[in-house]
Chains A and B, each alone.
Chain A
């Protein structure tokens, strides 16, 4: 299953093994893990609660993976995003891309994260000493995603 939304933790080694298993064409593995920081926008973060839209979130992630596959010659990809209550140091999100060569694997991995951050329905709420607050969307995330607006096979 290339896309998963789950409350439990994930193990990057196991996910990479699964993607590489019995695939002798794989010559490159690129991965990204996002984790919970203990400070955001100047406030201490005790816990982070992640909400999603069951059904649409999985579909959006699948569409983003399909888009990456259409732009770069990659062999396979896994995207796992956790929901529910998380604490500093916890893992939030995993993207793994396997391909024949590093250039396309790196590019697709970064693209998947940039698109996930701006297009997949997840919302973060932080619990801080000043109270609970919903995290605001960042303009810098839109800028990061916009970099990929034009077909980038040539740039990969």
Chain B
């Protein structure tokens, strides 16, 4: 299982703040997880589509598309940050 979190506008667009999901066998990386989630339907496709300015963190560290995702990880998707 992995935990996936969504923040800010992405959370609102998806109507979901977090979920636990069984890591699909073919998902090995952040890019793979993103593609897996996009396959859920139009809302997910449009919220996570390539070219959108999205950040991903794995276990609280900013990740790249090639960052590995393993069982037990916490993966977060969020828009560019706007604090301060």
Contact = CB atoms under 8 A, between A and B. Distances in A.
Interface of A: 34, 50-53, 55-56, 59-60, 81, 92-93, 113, 116-125, 134-138, 141
B5 A53 contact: yes
A93 B7 CA distance: 20
23 contacts: A34-B84, A51-B8, A53-B5, A53-B7, A53-B76, A53-B78, A56-B60, A56-B76, A60-B60, A81-B84, A93-B83, A116-B83, A116-B84, A117-B84, A118-B81, A119-B81, A120-B81, A121-B57, A123-B79, A123-B83, A124-B83, A137-B79, A137-B81
B60 A136 contact: no
B84 A125 contact: no
Contact of B84 (A53, A113, A136): A113
Contacts of B82: 117, 122-124, 134-138
A128 to B, nearest CB: 15
A100 B7 CA distance: 40
Chain B interface, >50% SS class: loop
A123 B53 contact: no
A59 B62 CA distance: 11
B9 interface: yes
